[in-house]
Structure 1
């Protein structure tokens, strides 16, 4: 099958999860930043045309999580569905758009599209500052929480941290700093490390993340660690000095980033789901430009077992 990008238009920060029920679940930031939208399909290529699309939560008009609902992810944690998202107080009240904290809603329903979801619970990292873009990963029977947060003493907008979890909404260790913006490609426009995603293959755990401003300068970096190492040991992680996925001017794919990973149904192929624009002449603040589209990219593997991300593609040879 040949698939043409984008997979789904106007869905930034895309997250795809293949569950044991055979469905691919998809969520992302909507242009209005006002709700959590969830959809599912039996095939990746059918996510764009699925008629199973539900708004599972809408923001209130006021309160701590009443504005700028960003970058949701859905995870299934030991029998509980959890959607993690960043949210801020209403800008008209606090007069500052960037006061985000991380929240989660949960349900134990078999089908999360029809389940009753809890009210949002703040996921407290122990650091009282702007934070966003949390993901979760289970390794050796331990769940880990990885997220982006502003550090009070490090220059920049966000760094990446990791901690262990003892429930879908509670962390059980102190935050450990994994990476901060330091290379020239991480500090263009804004000093940013955000949008972590985990890919575990061939004895190593790979962590991709996004860097710089959310225009054509947005790009992706890579950390990796041996699967037998302590994930809370920051010194055990290796950081690539070069970006691994960047704008392709020729193909008119600009600012690729904030990705997630999934697989074919049989697990034989790895795919990266990311967002990008098809132009760079953004009018006004890029935050309010709605045309970050969800795209798909096959991941290849070298003979040494390392991921090859390649360059963004307009057309993807695709198999499920």
Structure 2
């Protein structure tokens, strides 16, 4: 075999890898849904050796198969690939391609989201804690200081003047469509935009410092209905923004089930079953009001949020095991 053959194969493989990553990143940046991509048509090809079936709708799963082939081929040719972190980083949109299919019994009997109060930890554990069935608990934030004190100015002062302590987790920031690049930019925006009179915005971030989490949790308690043996994560999530904004349809890749407390404003949630269950399960639409907590497995339910007209929306969330 010619010694130039491996180099030629390597060059072609790398070129294909770069082209595919460009496609995936464009899909991720444009926030195209899987359902939209599945309706795209391949251009007609006049080459006789290509089957006519390639002119039919192509699903996003085929693109995922191509990614897997490239990854494993590269891995096989270069074993050191496995030990190099972030050599090939997959965009977040493509990650959903590699999740295992769901058993549709998770949602086939769910037709609405119950609103309940005065739940004991035992009843919550038996009915909802580790079940894919979502529920809204209406009375879990009655004594939270956050209900009265959390607003834009609270967080601006909290992060500008408070001590954050030691970093204990990775820090996450979600800009969505706001155009803001960091939490610092959010909290230093002009007064008109902060008061929802300027350009619309909606963002999310995670706590990642020990003092930050400890100080914030002085304003809200562990929800009373959680199982007594359940342990909360050290990360809390905050989502904040104005009417008309929210998160696009997606599914999470977090480790556990989560609770989402609506501290201010009203937020409409749309829950959709995974694609393999679309003909078995129903999509759900619900509104979470101030003081209510939604418990939902966002790793299994696809979800989209929309802040309703009125006040600034602030949501605090956390995972539990």
TM-score, normalising length from structure 1? 0.22
- Is the radius of gyration larger for structure 1 or structure 2? 2
TM-score, normalising length from structure 2? 0.22
Structure with bigger RCO (C-alpha 8 Å, 6+ apart): 2
